[in-house]
Structure formats: structure tokens, C-alpha cells
């Protein structure tokens, strides 16, 4: 690893949890080092909010704020208080010995007394070119109805939900508050959701279900206008007009780089203690969507980021580690300057 003095705290991630943790750690004079990641496909530094146009449910913004703007403000606040930012992904960590080892994509490895994992979870997309394009340009394709469904853009339109699990049922029910019609598209002839959730959807007067169908294309240039469907039983192709598409086929926690060194749930989310962010490895904490398969909201992520930073600070104090590290070698990562912007 690096010959530099170990960092007090390294934060891996760049969504609401990571930046909130960085703000708290910086204000505690811990001089945190943040690896914010780099663009890979639809995954951008800033997390899933980078694909959200207007956010109307984050406290403090009565006129709404775009996802990228909110992330830029959080990042700027963290840097203002002293957080150092490296615009690289972390490809490997070593949590087997202290101080912990962190290996970024390009820079020299660093060591740290504590680590906060806030790498989030990536939405699973259908994988269609126009789907991904419209998702990244605010064209009416989303992976979170609770985040986006109440926006004026989606109101009084026919909206489609793809999926058959409990999440898809929740998304569909939420959208009935705003849509003229909710069309649930499922590739099988029955939902895998719980019976209670499925019945609520099936019995709702605003919901229509298209069984045995998969979305084979998303139609529209600047904004979605419809979907091309392929019947999974017959192969027949049809189209429907919709004003929005919500993909609810699950999320994948971004934990591959951990290589199984932390305990996770059966779905890959990092396990933490109840009402705490500590993991099974002392000195390692986790926050945000990487631990949350239930709420998945910016505000809850930010809350756990605060918790993780406070717990890391107290862990360091308990072990008599309070001095902010000073990198002593040229091989250490070069932090981004405060006036730099995310990719």
C-alpha cells in the first residue's frame, strides 16, 4: 500500500449519503478523502439522482431542484468544509488488516483508519438504447416513481410500469394518484409480488395489466411517446401510447469491489446493526442505498450518511485517533481542487 500516513477516514461514493458523511467528517476536522467515482454507462458520480430532473421532496427546496444541481451543491458544501475529492472509482479494498487498504483505478493505493461505504445501488434497466437515452436526458423514463411520479410532466398521462414484484406494485399504486391510467407490463401471466400487493393493483380502477409482454423498444425523440411490446408467448409485436415509463425490475447494490469482505443480505445489500451503520468489520461503516432496499430516498440516504460520519468519528476518538492525516508522498492521490466540478 501507500507509504503515506493513514487517512483518518475515507469515503467511497458520491451520492447524498457520501456527501453528507463528508460534510460531517470535514466539519469534525477529520479531513476526509472522498473517492467520488467516474462515469460508467448510466452510472455517474452523484448516483441515481443524476438521472432525476426535478426533486420536489428534498427539504429546503420549495421550488424543486434538479438531481444534478442538488448533488453539485452537496459536493460543493463538502469541499467548502475541507473534504478532498478524487474523481476515480475504487477497484479494490483490503479490510483484513488495519489500517485498511484502498486501491483506486489509477492513483496509488492509500490506507485509512476508518472507511465509509456509500456506493449506492444501480437501477436495473431493460437495456434498450432509447430507454437509457431518455432516462439520462429527462425524457420521461425513470426508475423511481416515488422520486419522479408527482412531477407535473407525468400528471394526467397514461404511465407504464414494467415489473411484477412488490416494488412494481408499489410504483403502480403510487402513480394512480397522478396518472390518467397506469399500465403494468409483465413478461409472465402472473405477478411474483405478494398476494396482498398484487390484489391492490389488480382491483384498482386506474390500473390495466398487459400480461406476457416485454418492452422491446421505447418510442419518442425528446420525450417518450409510446412503447413497442413483444408478446412473450406468440412473438406478436404491438405498440401502446404512454407519457412515461417507470422501470421497476430491481436494483443491484454496488458492492462488487468489496469481494465479499462484508456481510450482506441475500440480495447483496451490506448488513449493518439496527439503527447503526457499523458493519461486521470494526471501523467500516456503510450508508445510503448500499444498505437500503426499502426506502431508497435521497433524504434517508443523507440521514444514514450523517450517522456513518458520527459513528466513524466516535470510533476514531475511542481508539485515540483524532489527528487529520497529511499525505507525505507524491504517489498519494491528488485531490480535486474546491472549484472543480464533477464529471
Half-sphere exposure of 99 (CA within 13 A, CB side): 24
Predicted confidence band of residue 337 (pLDDT cuts 50, 70, 90):
very low
> Average pLDDT, stretch 19-38?
97
> Which part of the chain has CATH 3.50.50.60?
7-122+251-318, 125-247
- The pLDDT score that the predictor gives to residue 231 is 97
- For 318, counting Cβ atoms within 10 Å of its Cβ (0-12 exposed, 13-18 middle, 19+ buried), the class is exposed
Q: What is the pLDDT of residue 334?
A: 44
- pLDDT digits 0-9 by tens, 145-180: 988 898 999 999 999 999 999 889 999 999 999 999
Which architecture does CATH list for 7-122+251-318? 3-Layer(bba) Sandwich (3.50)
Q: Identify the residue with better confidence: 42 or 146.
A: 146
Is residue 50 predicted with pLDDT exceeding 80?
yes
Q: List residues with catalytic annotation.
A: 144, 147-148
Q: Is the model's pLDDT at 336 over the cut of 50?
A: no
Q: Measure CA 13 to chain center.
A: 9
CB-CB contact of 225 with 240 (8 Å): no
Residue 210 in this model has a pLDDT that exceeds 50: yes
pLDDT at 329 exceeding the cut of 70:
no
Please determine, for residue 326, whether its predicted confidence score (pLDDT) is greater than 60: no
| pLDDT at 332 (0 to 100) | 41
pLDDT of residue 44: 80
Rounded-to-integer distance, Cα 97 and Cα 136, Å: 40
pLDDT value at position 171? 93
Pairwise CA distance, residues 251 & 222, whole Å: 26
Residue for cell digits 412515461? 244
pLDDT at res. 52: 73
Angle between the N-to-C axes of helices 166-175 and 195-203, in degrees from 0 to 180, rounded to the nearest 10: 30
CATH 3.50.50.60 fits 125-247, yes or no: yes
Query: What pLDDT shows up at residue 271?
Result: 97
**For the segment 235-267, what is each residue's pLDDT rounded down to a tens digit?**
999 999 999 999 999 889 999 999 999 999 998
pLDDT at 296 over 90: no
- Per-residue pLDDT for 184 more than 50? yes
Of 160, 142, 127, 125, give the one whose Cα is nearest residue 54. Answer: 142
pLDDT at 339 over 90: no
CB 271 within 8 A of CB 288: no
Say if CB 192 and CB 165 are below 8 A apart.
yes
Give the CA distances from residue 333 to residues 2, 14, 122, in Å, rounded to whole numbers and listed in that order.
Answer: 10, 17, 26
The whole-number pLDDT of residue 123 equals 86
322, pLDDT greater than 70 = no
Task: Say how far residue 278 (Cα) sits from the centre of its chain.
Answer: 19
How far apart, in whole angstroms, are the C-alpha atoms of residue 322 and residue 315?
10
User: Which DSSP state fits 290?
Assistant: G
On whether the CB atoms of residues 154 and 140 are closer than 8 A, the answer is yes
Q: What is the pLDDT of residues 62-85, one digit of tens each?
A: 998 988 899 999 999 999 999 999
Residue 44's contacts (CB-CB under 8 Å, 6 or more residues apart) are 37, 50, 51, 342, 343
Flag whether pLDDT at 201 surpasses 90: yes
- DSSP conformation class of 212: S
User: Cα(273)–Cα(20) distance, rounded to whole angstroms?
Assistant: 20
pLDDT of residue 338: 41
How high is the mean pLDDT of the chain? 90
Of 7-21, 95-109, 225-239, 316-330, the range with the lowest mean pLDDT is: 316-330
| Residues 23-38, mean pLDDT to the nearest whole number | 96
> Which pLDDT band, with edges at 50, 70 and 90, does 34 fall under?
very high
- Of 283, 296, 29, the closest CA to residue 304 belongs to 296
What pLDDT does residue 324 have?
44
Amino acid at each position: 500500500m501507500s507509504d503515506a500516513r493513514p487517512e483518518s477516514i475515507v469515503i467511497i461514493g458520491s451520492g447524498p449519503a457520501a456527501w453528507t458523511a463528508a460534510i460531517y467528517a470535514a466539519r469534525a476536522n477529520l479531513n476526509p478523502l472522498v473517492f467520488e467515482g467516474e462515469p460508467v454507462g448510466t452510472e455517474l458520480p452523484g448516483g441515481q439522482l443524476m438521472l432525476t430532473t426535478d426533486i420536489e421532496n428534498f427539504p429546503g427546496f420549495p421550488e424543486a431542484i434538479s438531481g444534478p444541481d442538488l448533488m453539485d451543491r452537496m459536493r460543493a458544501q463538502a469541499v467548502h468544509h475541507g473534504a478532498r475529492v478524487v474523481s476515480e472509482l475504487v477497484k479494490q479494498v483490503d479490510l483484513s488488516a488495519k489500517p485498511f487498504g484502498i486501491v483506486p483505478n489509477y492513483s496509488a493505493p492509500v490506507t485509512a483508519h476508518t472507511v465509509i461505504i456509500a456506493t449506492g445501488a444501480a437501477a436495473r434497466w431493460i437495456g434498450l438504447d432509447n430507454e437509457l437515452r431518455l432516462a439520462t436526458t429527462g425524457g420521461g423514463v425513470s426508475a423511481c416513481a416515488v422520486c419522479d411520479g408527482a412531477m407535473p410532466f407525468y400528471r394526467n398521462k397514461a404511465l407504464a410500469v414494467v415489473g411484477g414484484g412488490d416494488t412494481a406494485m408499489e410504483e403502480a399504486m403510487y402513480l394512480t394518484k397522478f396518472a390518467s391510467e397506469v399500465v403494468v407490463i409483465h413478461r409472465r401471466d402472473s405477478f411474483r409480488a405478494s398476494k396482498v400487493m398484487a390484489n391492490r393493483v389488480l382491483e384498482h380502477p386506474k390500473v390495466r395489466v398487459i400480461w406476457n409482454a416485454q418492452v422491446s423498444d421505447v418510442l419518442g425523440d425528446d420525450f417518450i411517446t409510446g412503447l413497442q411490446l413483444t408478446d412473450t408467448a406468440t412473438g406478436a409485436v404491438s405498440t401502446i401510447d404512454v407519457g412515461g415509463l417507470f422501470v421497476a425490475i430491481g436494483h443491484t447494490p454496488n458492492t462488487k469491489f468489496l469481494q465479499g469482505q462484508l456481510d450482506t443480505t441475500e440480495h447483496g445489500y451490506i448488513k449493518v446493526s439496527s439503527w447503526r451503520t457499523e458493519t461486521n468489520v470494526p471501523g467500516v461503516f456503510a450508508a445510503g442505498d448500499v444498505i437500503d432496499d426499502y426506502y431508497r430516498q435521497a433524504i434517508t440516504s443523507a440521514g444514514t450518511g450523517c450517522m456513518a460520519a458520527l459513528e466513524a468519528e466516535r470510533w476514531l476518538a475511542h481508539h485515540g485517533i483524532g489527528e487529520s492525516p497529511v499525505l507525505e508522498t507524491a504517489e498519494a492521490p491528488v485531490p480535486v481542487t474546491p472549484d472543480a466540478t464533477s464529471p
